[in-house]
Amino acid sequence: MVAADVGFAEASWIMVVKSLVIFAVILGLVPMILLLERKLLGRFQARYGPNRVGPKGLLQPLADVVKLLSKEAYKPDAAVPILWAIAPALVILSATATLAIIPFGDVADGNVGLYGIDVSIGILYAFAFGSISFYGLLLGGWSSGSKYSFMGAMRSAAQLISYEISMGLALLGVIMMAGSLSLVDIANAQADTIWYVIPQFVGFLIFMVAGFAETNRPPFDLPEADAELVAGYNTEYGGMRFGSYFMAEYMEMVVVSGIAAAMFLGGWHGPGPDWLGPIWMLAKIMVLICLFIWVRATLPRLRYDQLMSLGWKVLLPLATLNVLVTAVLVVVT
Amino acid sequence: MEQVAFFAGAIGALGGAIAVIALRNPFYSVLALVVHLFSLAGLFLLLHAEFVAAAQVVVYAGAVMVLYVFVAAYVGGVEEPLWDAIPGQRILAPLIGAALFIELSIAVLGSGLKSLGDEGEVIPAGFGSPEAVGRLLLERFLIPFEAASLLLLIAAVGAVVLAARRPAPVDRGGAA
Amino acid sequence: MIVFVGLGVIVGGAFTALNHVLGPKRPSRVKSEPYECGLPTEVTRTFRFGISFYMVAMLFILFDIEVVFLYPVGVLLNASDSVFVLVEIALFVFLLLVGFVYVWRRGALNWR
């Protein structure tokens, strides 16, 4: 893909190396988030959380992965063979590809951009690759040949599309203010002024609520509502294929948090010297992920009709109004 | 590199398109159409039309195909045809197809091929970016841009009217 | 982008295939039946689900196109001739809002 006009060309080996580094960092982050979530959830409920494997339970994610890896690879008779195997890989592909647009810093040393890719279409890149994950969920549910899987897949499909519009409109306010779609430009536009979370507070709220829904996180985990649907689209999956869905969900959490941090919370800008930038970015991502966990521990799951009316009757009009008001304010000031 | 990408995209687009009509199961046909649309988006990227590529994926693969998938899942994996054959369709179909092919060939040979060169067009900076597309929408294509919103309004009304006519689930999911 | 897509394919493929290599193989008939809780299992790929799914999908197409149209125009709002751009955006959104109000009033947004 053609990069935005940055005025320099990176050697291809630099691109490969930095992509690998970003991917490795986030891949390392996922087990930590997993443990953090279980620990925090434990504390929220006056429990200890996992504390048996390793000191203070620190090795718990490792044990989980080993367990998932040692499971039997099985396929239900009713499943459509190839599609059933491709579906979890599609979800991982979509989550990995969207990682590329999270910026961890501006161009450093004149020739290396601290981001996977900075394209002119910016945030639309995330939406485009996000639509692949939709097919991952739907194919997984459909090809399983189980009614629970299929109902879960249909639910998640309708939920994903209901909240995607509000998400897009919520970001439009920021895009109008910054005058760019590129996440790097948007983060830089907040360097000297206040973070966009203050003038765009409504947009930030809408984006985060839609983000909870897009990642199928509680209180919007209707597709895998275990009380009614067993486990939704991944009922028939086991082993690492189940793990793929699980991991993709956490990677998407990182992506949503990363986009929110770059667009609303000033990205890598913060007090201190420039080299602290990537650390600031990671810190902001972690704070937003703690918000995800906090919300999970606090709110009960919505009913499906409530979920739909929240998306269409509350968030969508609010987001539209936000766009109009922001447009007027941008022109007036 | 670019040629490899082009042929991968072209094979995906053609293969997907052929699979759409060749496959019997409507659900697989829809999936083939999705493959076709993603390949087309890849071809747009090769033409430096980044915004068009993203819009193609977001609107077609992400939105229109969702409706198709819903309808196909509703109809299910039926292998038998959904309606009876029209008498004489085996003779008529190739005739109409051939006529369409000749017509398209005349159109392509008559206009497009002459302007093709070996070097390719010079691409100005920022070509295909959202800013460039936005400027075009506001200057050259202002009327179509606003007409699009009117069209969307009409479509919204039409969708509701279609859905409201029958309280029970409609069987083809209405117009797309 | 190519690197990330490649990584995704490799990791996704590895996750899908690893259990074949590492896991035990003890197939049995009951294990490979679709999950069911105390009832005979049935395999179905067609469901007569509610009309709301179609309604949502159709409305999603409309508003998705709105968002995609507004992005390139919204980017220009700060650049030049802002009032003109604002009027165009407002007109565009207003026409769609009329449709949205109509859809709402007809009750198509109620989940059935």
| Sole residue written with tokens 């590809």 | A97
* Chain C 38-57, residues with CB within 8 Å of chain A CB atoms: 42-45, 47, 49, 52-53, 56-57
Q: Is the pLDDT of residue B100 over 90?
A: yes
Q: Determine whether the interchain pair C54/B163 forms a contact, defined as Cβ–Cβ distance below 8 Å.
A: yes
pLDDT confidence tier of residue B175, bands split at 50, 70 and 90: very low
pLDDT in tens, A209-255: 998 888 877 787 766 666 566 666 766 676 677 778 888 888 888 99
Given a contact cutoff of 8 angstroms between Cβ atoms, the answer to whether A91 and A244 are in contact is yes
Closest to B9 measured CA to CA, from B50, B38, B49: B38
Asked if residue C107 has pLDDT above 50, the reply is yes
pLDDT of residue B173: 43
Is there a contact between C96 and B73 if contact means CB atoms under 8 Å apart?
A: no
Residue B168 has pLDDT above 70, yes or no: no
Chain centroid to Cα A279, Å, comes to 19
Residue that is written with structure tokens 């919007």 in the block = A220
Measured in residues, chain C has a length of 112
Domain extents in chain B: 1-78, 129-166
Q: What percent of chain A has pLDDT over 70?
A: 87
B12 Cβ contact list (under 8 Å, min separation 6): B35, B36, B38, B39, B42
- Give burial (CB, 10 Å; 0-12/13-18/19+) of C4: buried
Residue of A nearest to C92 (CA): A324
Beta carbons within 8 Å of A263's beta carbon, 6+ residues apart = A123, A171, A174, A183, A186, A187, A196, A207
User: Which residues is A113 bridged to in the sheet?
Assistant: A107
- For residues A124 and A225, give the distance between their C-alpha atoms in angstroms, rounded to a whole number: 30
Name which of A8-12, A202-206, B158-162 the model is least confident about.
A8-12
Cα–Cα distance, A247 to A32 (Å, whole number): 12
Question: How confident is the model over A90-116, as pLDDT tens digits?
Answer: 888 888 888 888 888 777 666 667 777
Query: Mutate which of A131, A171, A312 to test chain B, going by most B C-beta atoms within 10 A?
Result: A131
Q: Do B59 and C64 touch (CB under 8 A)?
A: yes
Of the partner residues C55, C71, C102, the one whose CB lies closest to the CB of residue B130: C71
CA distances from B80 to B25, B26, B84 (A): 9, 10, 10
**What pLDDT is recorded for position A58?**
79
Assign B36 a pLDDT band (cuts: 50, 70, 90).
very high
What residues in B contact A161, CB-CB < 8 Å? 63, 66
pLDDT-based confidence at residue B171 (cuts at 50, 70, 90): very low
Residue A230: predicted pLDDT? 63
pLDDT over 90 (residue B99): yes
Q: What is the mean pLDDT of residues B87-93?
A: 80
Does C47 sit within 8 Å of A240, measured CB to CB? Answer: no
B59 touches chain A (CB under 8 A): no
Average the pLDDT over A311-315 and give the result: 87
The amino acid sitting at A194 is I
How far apart, in whole angstroms, are the C-alpha atoms of residue B80 and residue A116?
48
User: Inter-chain contact C95–B74, Cβ cutoff 8 Å?
Assistant: no
* Chain B contact partners (≥3 CB pairs within 8 A): A, C
Distance between CA B172 and CA C23 in Å, rounded?
44
Q: In this predicted model, what pLDDT tens digit does every residue of A2-46 receive, in sequence order?
A: 444 444 456 677 777 878 888 888 888 888 888 888 888 888 888
Average pLDDT (A114-134) is 81
Angle CA A7–A13–A16, to nearest 5 = 95
What pLDDT score does B102 carry? 93
Mean pLDDT of B38-64: 86
Residues A137-181: pLDDT tens digits? 888 777 776 777 777 788 888 888 888 889 999 998 888 888 888
Q: What is the C-alpha to C-alpha distance for residues A299 and C30, in angstroms, rounded to an integer?
A: 38
Q: Which CATH class is domain B1-78?
A: mainly alpha
Question: What pLDDT, on the 0 to 100 scale, is given for residue B94?
Answer: 87
Phi and psi (nearest 5°) for A109? 55, 25
Collapsed DSSP state (helix, strand, coil) of residue B89: helix
C110 vs C45, more confident: C110
Is residue A92 a contact partner of residue C8, using CB atoms and an 8 Å limit?
yes
User: Is the link from the previous residue into A219 a cis peptide, with omega within 30 of 0?
Assistant: yes
Residue in chain C closest to B143 (alpha carbons) equals: C88
Record the pTM: 0.84
Q: Which chain B residue has the Cα nearest residue A134? A: B62
Q: For chain A, what are the domain ranges?
A: 73-332
Whether residue B75 is predicted with pLDDT greater than 70 in this model: the reply is no
What ipTM does the predicted assembly reach?
0.80
Contact A265, A97 (CB under 8 A): no
- A302-328: average pLDDT: 86
Residues C52, B70: Cα–Cα separation, whole Å:
11
Q: What is the mean pLDDT of chain A?
A: 81
pLDDT band at B115 (very low <50, low <70, confident <90, very high): low
Quick one: pLDDT at residue A206? 92
Tokens 């999970």, located at residue? A296
Tell me: pLDDT of A68 over 50. yes
Question: Which of A71, A175, A179 has its CB closest to that of C79?
Answer: A179
